């Protein structure tokens, strides 16, 4: 943690910085003396975070109220940071939809695709080029434990996280020799306000600060991190199982969180008892 500024330079960009994991990461970066460009949709909440970090750490903070679901949103962010020596991108903006896929609003699903994937692609592509040219930089993409298999009742969300996971894994190998480290952070259930927006009821969770701490500690050391004990337990307990079984189990878990009818965890062709 003490070498983050020396590793990546003076400036970092954090999206989704007004709340949850993005805000927790921004706080930790500011404590390390890194100047910040904070990005989120809500100007009022973003300004409050910026004021807090300036007062607590005396660091430069530039708040940008940008809606990354909007076409041109990522380009606006890139233009605003073109003169800054940014060395770290944390793409923490994102949200989840839940429930039966066929009952969901296509407009809402497209909005999630734009934030969780399109904006991530645009920002990663642009900053990766900048970092490779300077032969130094870091990129954090937010994955999830649902990225490692399809997840019924959050089908499209898990697909967007699988996109981020695969992109980060590949770029970790591609960009490493060019001085750029890429990390996928795959937390489990997190107490960040995320679940309320997604219409989910969570039981045991990790905190946003747990995720931030684990993520930044792994940056430059791993391709994927499972921040927090709960993330590790949930992922490792499912890892030995066939993918089809993992999908059914995650469907049962997500069904309970979203109030849907539980999904059988029996593999195809095997009848459960009862």
Catalytic residue among 135, 157, 222, 232, which?
157
Q: Under 8 Å CB-to-CB from 179, ≥6 apart: which residues?
A: 131, 132, 134, 135, 136, 137
Tokens coding 81: 């940071």
- Please give the DSSP secondary-structure letter assigned to residue 88: E
The rounded distance, in Å, linking the Cα atoms of 131 and 92 is 19
Catalytic residue among 135, 161, 222, 232, which?
161
Run of H or E residues at 207: strand 206-207
State yes or no: is 232 an active-site residue. Answer: no
The rounded distance, in Å, linking the Cα atoms of 220 and 226 is 15
How many other C-beta atoms can be found within 10 angstroms of the C-beta atom of residue 147? 24
SS3 for 77?
helix
Tokens coding 260: 């849907």
State yes or no: is 163 an active-site residue. Answer: no
Tokens coding 19: 């709340």
Q: Which residues are catalytic?
A: 157, 161
């Amino acid at each position: 943690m003490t070498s983050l500024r020396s590793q990546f330079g003076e400036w970092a960009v954090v999206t989704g910085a007004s709340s949850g994991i993005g805000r927790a990461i921004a706080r930790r970066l500011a404590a390390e003396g890194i100047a910040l460009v904070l990005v989120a949709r809500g100007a009022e909440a973003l300004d409050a975070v910026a004021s807090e970090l300036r007062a607590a750490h005396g660091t430069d903070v530039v708040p940008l109220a940008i809606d990354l679901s909007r076409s041109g949103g990522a380009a606006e962010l890139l233009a605003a940071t073109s003169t800054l020596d940014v060395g770290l991108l944390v793409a923490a903006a994102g949200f989840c939809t839940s429930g039966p896929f066929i009952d969901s609003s296509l407009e809402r699903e497209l909005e999630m695709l734009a934030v969780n994937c399109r904006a991530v692609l645009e920002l990663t592509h642009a900053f990766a080029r900048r970092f490779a040219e300077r032969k130094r930089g870091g990129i954090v993409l937010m994955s999830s434990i649902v990225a490692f298999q399809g997840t019924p009742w959050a089908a499209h969300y898990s697909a967007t996280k699988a996109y981020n996971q695969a992109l980060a894994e590949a770029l970790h190998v591609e960009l490493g020799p060019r001085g750029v480290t890429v990390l996928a952070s795959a937390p489990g259930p997190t107490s960040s306000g995320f679940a309320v927006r997604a219409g989910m009821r969570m039981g045991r969770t990790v905190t946003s600060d747990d995720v931030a701490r684990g993520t930044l500690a792994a940056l430059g050391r791993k391709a994927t991190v499972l921040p927090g004990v709960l993330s590790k337990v949930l992922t490792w307990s499912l890892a030995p199982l066939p993918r089809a079984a993992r999908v059914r189990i995650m469907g049962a878990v997500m069904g309970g969180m979203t109030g849907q009818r539980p999904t059988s965890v029996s593999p195809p062709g095997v009848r459960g008892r009862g």
